[in-house]
Amino acid sequence: MGIAGLVLLIACSNLANLLLGRATARTHEIGVRLALGAGRARLVRQLLTESCVLSGLGATAALALSWRGSRALVALASAGEKWQLPLDPDLRILGFTAAVAIVATCLFGLAPALAGTRIDVHSALQGNRRSQTSGRPRQALGKVLVAAQISISLLLLSVAALLAGSLWNLRHQDFGFRSEGLLTVDLPLEFTPGMRARNAALRQPLYDRLNALPGVRSAAIGGFGPMGGWQHTGAVSVPERPAQEGEITRIVHVSPRYFETMGMRMVAGRSITEEDRAGAPKVAVLSETAARKVFGGANPVGRLVTAGRQFDAKSALQVVGVAHDVRFGGPREPYGFLLYVPMAQVQAPVTEVLVRASGDPALLVGTVRAALQDVANGLPIGEIRLLSDTIDSKLANERMLALLATCFGLLALALTCVGVYGVISYAVERRTQEIGIRLALGASRGAVAGMLMRDVALLVAASAVLGGAGSVAATRAIRNMLFGFGPNDYSMLLWAGLLLMVVAVAAGYVPARRAARLDPMDALRQE
């Protein structure tokens, strides 16, 4: 809503600037109307009515765009999800936006209307461009409006660049595993005794069947694993160190080949193997963070831990390896305490199936589903999807926000370019005779273009300073929404400012170049 409001403000400022230039071009007409007896209040109402017509045409076009745009937005927001937002038109929202359009039109159309009717009738009837208007106040108002547009545009572009950069950092960070080519299947966890027994009975047959499928590089089963909907939490303690307050350890039940299938690197020791079966010595694998917190700088391999608040030698597990840290619950979640235990030694339920394809994973979906249905013996089977798609679904909000901010930022940039173009065109129109005199006295066309471009450069630079201050404040305000940026990282702001200045200067160069190509005789005749 904040971004949309700022874009609306830019659009209204732009429209006010264009209406101001249009009122200047109609000065002679307005002077005739005043000379014939029309009151200033009536002329203001006429100009406001024209503004409302423009607003109405724009609102009509916006209804069609919003119908299409809302569907695209809902599709983006619910990507990979089973739920859908309602798409029926909401009269309350339409009424609110219509009211905003009417109020904005009246507010921003009033200043050009008042300025357009505040003229000297005698000068207006003479048609003298230099004396028919109070040119300096109008030009100053136009520059103030453009400066506001540039400042707000820089703020929006900076926010869009930060959100887009944050999304890139989230998606391309080190998750601790390789999601490419990895299929995942969720098995709904049922708590009825019959379901539990059937779930326990399918562990070994399912593991063997999946690893025997053609096109499967490796397969594993697990319980309460990363990026899943279920979690099993506890604590980790050692003889020298009981579990600390606030430490939450996620306990992940894994089958052999789990770390291989997930693409997780072992930092020390070994992973869970077929030897870690029921009746064998109880073992566990710790995550890097858990090993560092529990054992400090000592080697954890071969040490004993207990999955509980206090160490118990009877239920102790021997640490056989340390695995690379992973983002467990989602892309934003920090590395935490993870304890991997063999599924065969704890009789844990199967909640997820992992299959790493040796080729295109999409070709394995039908084969994997058939194997699951054959072995699962009537148990419900969830959706088969790529782990990368699961990660993308968890980034749906960030992706939608970054896309909308980018679209609004580019729209603001386009509107700002139109505003800069309008102001310089208005300045050229007002100074046509002056430009003609300069050219007639021997000034080069480059000097004339440079004179106008200096105004553009000063306007853009001053506005960029104001917009930069607002961007710094906005960056600090949304810092908790960002990922992968330091507290004083303003690189995106600098790139956004550079883009805005280049585009704005280019927009001002077009009318400046056209002014430099004026024929001096034609310019001198415009009186």
Residue 389 lies in a domain: no
pLDDT digits (tens, 9 = 90+) for 85-97: 666 767 888 888 8
238 and 110 inside one domain? no
Sign of the torsion angle spanned by Cα atoms 297, 303, 309, 310: negative
Which pTM does this prediction carry?
0.79
Reported confidence tier of residue 117, pLDDT bands at 50, 70, 90? confident
Amino acid 133: pLDDT = 43
Residues 6 or more apart whose CB falls under 8 angstroms from that of 167 comprise 395, 398, 399, 402
Instruction: With beta carbons less than 8 A apart as the criterion, state whether 247 and 386 touch.
Output: no
SS (H, E, C) 319-339: EEEEECCCCCCCCCCCCCEEE
Q: How far apart are CA 175 and CA 334, in angstroms?
A: 10
199 and 169 inside one domain? no
How many percent of the chain have pLDDT more than 90? Answer: 23
Domain end position, chosen among 381, 407, 425: 381
Q: What is the CA radius of gyration of the chain?
A: 34
407 and 373 inside one domain? no
Reported confidence tier of residue 422, pLDDT bands at 50, 70, 90? confident
Instruction: With beta carbons less than 8 A apart as the criterion, state whether 423 and 149 touch.
Output: no
Reported confidence tier of residue 82, pLDDT bands at 50, 70, 90? low
150 and 271 inside one domain? no
292 and 412 inside one domain? no
Which residues make beta-bridge pairs with 257?
none
Instruction: With beta carbons less than 8 A apart as the criterion, state whether 387 and 227 touch.
Output: yes
368 and 469 inside one domain? no
Residue 8 lies in a domain: yes
Amino acid 281: pLDDT = 93
Place of tokens 């089963």: 221
Does 129 have pLDDT greater than 50?
A: no
Amino acid 253: pLDDT = 92
Residue 390 lies in a domain: no
358 and 214 inside one domain? yes
Window from 70-84, 205-219, 339-353, 494-508 with minimum mean pLDDT: 70-84
pLDDT digits (tens, 9 = 90+) for 317-337: 999 999 999 998 888 888 888
Instruction: With beta carbons less than 8 A apart as the criterion, state whether 416 and 17 touch.
Output: no
pLDDT digits (tens, 9 = 90+) for 171-220: 999 899 998 999 999 887 666 666 677 777 888 899 999 999 999 999 99
263 and 337 inside one domain? yes
426 and 501 inside one domain? yes
Instruction: With beta carbons less than 8 A apart as the criterion, state whether 159 and 4 touch.
Output: no
323 and 465 inside one domain? no
Count of C-beta atoms within a 10 Å radius of residue 120: 16
Instruction: With beta carbons less than 8 A apart as the criterion, state whether 263 and 177 touch.
Output: yes
Q: How far apart are CA 448 and CA 427, in angstroms?
A: 13
242 and 328 inside one domain? yes
Does 39 have pLDDT greater than 80?
A: yes
**Range of 199's domain?**
188-381
pLDDT digits (tens, 9 = 90+) for 238-286: 988 888 887 888 999 999 999 999 999 999 999 999 999 888 999 999 9
Residue 388 lies in a domain: no
Q: How far apart are CA 496 and CA 358, in angstroms?
A: 42
Number of domains in the chain: 2
Residue 155 lies in a domain: yes
Reported confidence tier of residue 523, pLDDT bands at 50, 70, 90? low
Question: Coil, strand or helix: which one is 1?
Answer: coil
Reported confidence tier of residue 229, pLDDT bands at 50, 70, 90? low
97 and 46 inside one domain? yes
Altogether, the residues listed in the chain come to a count of 527
